[in-house]
Amino acid sequence: MDLQFTPEEEAFRTEVQAFLKDKLPPHLSQKIKAGVKLTKAEHEAWHALLHQRGWLATIWPQEHGGPGWDPVRKFIFENECALANAPRIEPFGVVMLGPVLIHFGNAAQKSHWLPRVLHGDDWWCQGYSEPGAGSDLASIKTTAERGMDAQGDHYIVNGQKTWTTLGQHANMIFCLVRTNKEARKQEGISFLLIDMSTPGIEVRPILTIEGGHEVNEVFFTNVRVPAENLVGEENKGWTIAKYLLTHERTGIAGVGFSVALMEKLKVVAQKVLRNGRPLAQDPLFAARMAQVEIDLENMKTTNLRVLAAVAGGGAPGAESSMLKIKGSEIRQALYALIRRAVGPYALPFDVQWIKDLERGEPMGPEEAATSAASYFNFRKLSIYGGSNEVQKNIISKMILGL
């Protein structure tokens, strides 16, 4: 298998680099580099620039408004964006819901919702996890009972979702709901699109360990949802859930983000002095850096192999779980090494700095201001999207037949 990029792919890389140099606002890349949170408006501004170029929905086919890239071009684009410290594309509408609608949605749903995602009319969040149904997603208890009244066919939704990322910004949520209580837990689940302004919905913030407001709880009390917002067949939502999660876990590997973090770590290790010498020359620290870089290079090769298989008509299976496990471990190791590199300057962290509010100059190296916050926040990488322990179970079942 040839894992080298073709001349055409290298030309595409050059095109992406030129676009980022010309169009990426410097203040956005500076905030990403510093580990500072972006506002909703800043995310939307970057989405608008990408949409104008036709590069927002990187995995959508051309007939639905995407660039029609193969997996390799998508890989190149994401890596170059990470290296340039570009904002991450908001995942829930573009990366998750879009492919689901393209694959499972009816013609009316595609024509209505897909353009709204591209134009920024809707900000989506994901209603999957519940208290007691995180890694065991099939145990969801949020119910949707179907009925008919003068206003038409509809569902009444009751229950609770948790860890709803950026739900405070969203006007729409896609939800897994239980529509048949008598069926096996993997059955009797449906996939609904719900307007967050509907009466009966309450969003409560959950503050994360570093002081940020990134996730939320969402409560549903007799929420009326038009039956036309059902995606796919009733009671067949588990198939959609698995489809979405398989592709999400491949992306969670975050190869581009790890490559960018590795470059940042090398810069920090050259700047920070230990006993009068750059930290990069310390044998123990250099060995730790080398081990992570070896793991990263191996993961890049594995990711390219998966992309080559997908380009040949295959679909990611256990490989997506492998990439999720290794990708999260590598990124956590990199954040840990950056925090270790800045030493005692990483002990305090300034929430004002993270939130881009009024703040003073950072103590010690520039990276010290957010190194502890990033380290603590990204402990979540091995949990969300299906915990790494669950991914190991998936691998054992799919490959070893256990």
Active site residues: 248
Give CA–CA dist 323/391, Å, rounded. 10
Give CA–CA dist 232/241, Å, rounded. 11
Give CA–CA dist 231/320, Å, rounded. 24
**Which among 147, 12, 168 has a CA at the least distance from the CA of 75?**
12
**Which among 105, 115, 353 has a CA at the least distance from the CA of 229?**
105
Q: 270 φ, ψ to 5°?
A: -85, -30
Q: Are strands 124-127 and 172-178 parallel, antiparallel or unpaired?
A: parallel
| Alpha helix positions (H), 170-317 | 237-252, 255-271, 283-311
**Which among 199, 124, 123, 204 has a CA at the least distance from the CA of 161?**
204
Contact (CB, 8 A) for 128 and 241: yes
